[in-house]
Amino acid sequence: METPLPQASPTPKTPDGIVIAVRGAVVDVSFADAELPAIDTALIVDWDRPETLVLEVHSHVDPQTVRAIALQATMGLARQTGVRATRVPVTVPVGDAVLGRLLDVVGTVRDNGPALPDDTPRRSIHQKPPALEDETSATDIFETGIKVIDLLAPLAQGGKAAMFGGAGVGKTVLVMELIHAMGAKYQGLSVFAGVGERSREGHELLTDMQSSGVLERTVLVYGQMNEPPGARWRVPLTALTIAEYFRDEKHQNVLLLMDNVFRFVQAGSELSSLLGRLPSRVGYQSTLASEVAALEERIASVPGASVTAIQAVYVPADDFTDPAVTAISSHMDSIIMLSRKLAAEAFYPAIDPLASSSVLLDPLVVGEDHYALAERAREALARFEELRDIIALLGVEELGADDRLIVKRARRLQRFLSQPFVVTEAFTGTPGESVSRADTLAGCKAILDGEADDWAESSLYMVGTLNQARAKEAASQKVAKP
């Protein structure tokens, strides 16, 4: 068990150092009469405010001065304020006591609930990844109940998946639906890291989890948009530390959700500028690749327990060649691309079936039938995309018979791959649907084989299984008859 992080007290000990400069979230501290604290260890500011201010040593400026990053707001911090060196890294509470609770970056409870027990174990947020020989490869399918993901970009139990999309295309809704799927189907533990998200979204997620009954098996860790960059930069490590404890000490499978990993990179870029480093490509920090790798390499599975990571990634200006996006995607097993064009056409989830991919979509993993069906679906959708301009100019009647048939089936398949979510039921009034992989494959095969050629396209839109679409078609036929 790690040494707990000391808290501020009404009668603080004699400070080890003093603040000599404050530049936003970057604070310089002089230790003229004490040994310099090591890098990545915590400092406690002895100031006249009730809330604790924790700093983390980032670099040694000279033999007497360290440069530290503030994990809370530094508003009101003055020079000559005393600072105590803890000589240990920032530690956060872990274990069963934090289940159902909402924590901040240093592990303080923020849900207005009771304090954590005094005997709650704590762990440093800086941990080494498992040795390569101790890691296990992820080949078991993690069924999400979302048709387009399970068909074309299956997720791995113990793997890493990222959902890339610009603003307003449905990343957070998709993450919330996956939390619900994990709680309903796998009865597993979830750790959610809200990195740089809006306070409103955090409050909505907390109330939704309380009402759905999955909060008891979930830990929420937040470093929100209104918090300093230091909090947003370190909060993924806090969440990952809690997940690692359940994996290593409790031998339990954990679902780790991060929304939004781009904000982690963005916070690192802000701090890099405040620290006076030269920027790299597109203004990002020069340490972008190593920071992302240090986070992602800790997400690993060991024999007997896995950490399945699902990460939402904001794509600035819908530019998928952005350095942050490419750095994150290089670590992923499954890549789910969200399309603004599909969202504009009201296809939800707005997942691009042609741009999304997964290393698990392999006949040795998913089976020959699933692989062949996914290839057929991709071919039909790709051909439909190629013919879109011709259809817009000349109309579908000018196509050959084979192309007309492909377009007809691709349009129906596209509508079948949409589905209502449980988490949007309050807004749409449509009950959410979770579809098993077997039903997804059966429905897609029937559409590609021509079973739904004579059905109205609307019968396949926003339904779960093909049987529901069949019932919808039969009901519309009855209405159509005089």
CB-CB contact of 409 with 380 (8 Å): yes
Residue 376 annotated among the catalytic residues of the structure: no
Residue 445 annotated among the catalytic residues of the structure: no
Residue 171 annotated among the catalytic residues of the structure: yes
Phi then psi for residue 172, to 5 deg, are -65, -40
Catalytic residue among 171, 232, 263, 470: 171
Catalytic residue among 143, 197, 270, 296: 197
CB-CB contact of 413 with 444 (8 Å): yes
Catalytic residue among 49, 198, 200, 388: 198
* Catalytic residue set: 171, 197-198
